[in-house]
Chain A
C-alpha cells in the first residue's frame, strides 16, 4: 500500500451533488413545466395554482418548506459541483477561487433560503 495518502473530502460535495442530481432529474423538468409553462400560460392547471396565498401556505407548511429548501439548496450544490468539475475538464484548472465561487455560492444560497423559509413562519 502506498504511504502518505491523504483522505479526500470529496464525499461531502459528492453526496450533495448526488442528492441534487437525483432530485433535479426527478423534479427539474416538471418544475420547469409547472412554473415556466403551465402556470404562466394557464394550461392544464386551475387558475391561481401558484397565487401568493397558496404559495405562502405551501411555504409555511412543514413539508412544503422542506421541499422548497431541498429543491433550492440541493439543485445549487449539484450545479456548483458540475460547474467546478466541468471547468477542470475543459482545461481551466480551477483553483481555490473557483472552488470558493462555486461551492461558496451554493453554501450562501443554502443559508439564505433556510433563513427566508424559516422567517415565513409555520
Chain B
C-alpha cells in the first residue's frame, strides 16, 4: 500500500462551558488514511492535540446512534462518514443542530428523552391476556406493518435535520413519532387512541410541513416523514370523526 499519509484540515466547533461564553471554530491538521472515518479524525485530535475535545461515540459501526454530528452542515453519523470524501478540502464538524450544546460536540438530549417517554414506547395490550392463552400470533403482513419503524437507533439526526423542530423545540419530532407509529401499527397494541392525544396536540404532527429531510438523513431508512404524514391523516380523521366515535375519540 502506498501509505504516505495525507493531511486534512478538520474544523471543529468547540465549546467549553467553564471558560467559553459561546462556541467557536478551531482548525486541526490531521494525518489520515483512506479508511479513516470523521469519528477517527476527531479521535486523533483528542489523542494527539487536545485531550479536552469532547464527543459521544461507541460502536463505530452505525448501530449505536451516538456519534451524530453536523459534517459540513449535514447531519451524519461520523463513524460512517469518511475523511477521504472531503479531502483535499477542509471538513467542518459541529454539534448537532437544534439542540443545546453541553460541551464541544456533545448536545443535551434530555428533551428528546422526555419525548420518547411521552409516546408510551411499549406495547399496551388490547386486553389482558393470561398465560394459558399462549403467545400472540402475528402474520407476516401484521409484522411488516411496523417492522420498518423499529429500526430507529435514536441518533436524533432527524431532529438536527428538521427545520420545524429547530423553530419549535416542543414539537415531538420525527423519531418519536416514528416510534409512536411503530407501536400503533403493532397488532398486539391497543393504545393508538391514548397516543392520539399527543399526536393531535399542538406539539404533535401538525408542526410538520412535509420537508422530508428527516427521512433523507436517517441512517437506518426508518422514513419518519412517512410516519408523521400517516399520523396527520389519522389526527385529521380523529378531529372530524371524534363526535361519531362511541368513546368520543381523544379529548
Residues of A within 8 A of B (CB): 1-2, 5-8, 10-12, 14-15, 85, 88-89, 93
Contact = CB atoms under 8 A, between A and B. Distances in A.
13 contacts: A1-B194, A1-B195, A1-B197, A1-B198, A5-B197, A7-B197, A7-B202, A8-B201, A8-B202, A11-B200, A15-B236, A15-B240, A93-B167
B191 to A, nearest CB: 10
B124 to A, nearest CB: 11
Contact of B251 (A7, A10, A11): A7
B201 A6 contact: yes
B185 interface: no
Contacts of B206: 8, 10-11, 14
A85 B209 contact: yes
A5 B198 contact: yes
**9 tightest A-B contacts by CB?**
A10-B206, A11-B239, A5-B201, A11-B236, A8-B202, A2-B118, A8-B206, A85-B209, A6-B202
Interface residues of B, number: 22
A93 B202 CA distance: 16
Contacts of B202: 5-8
Interface in B148-186: 163, 167
A8 B200 contact: yes
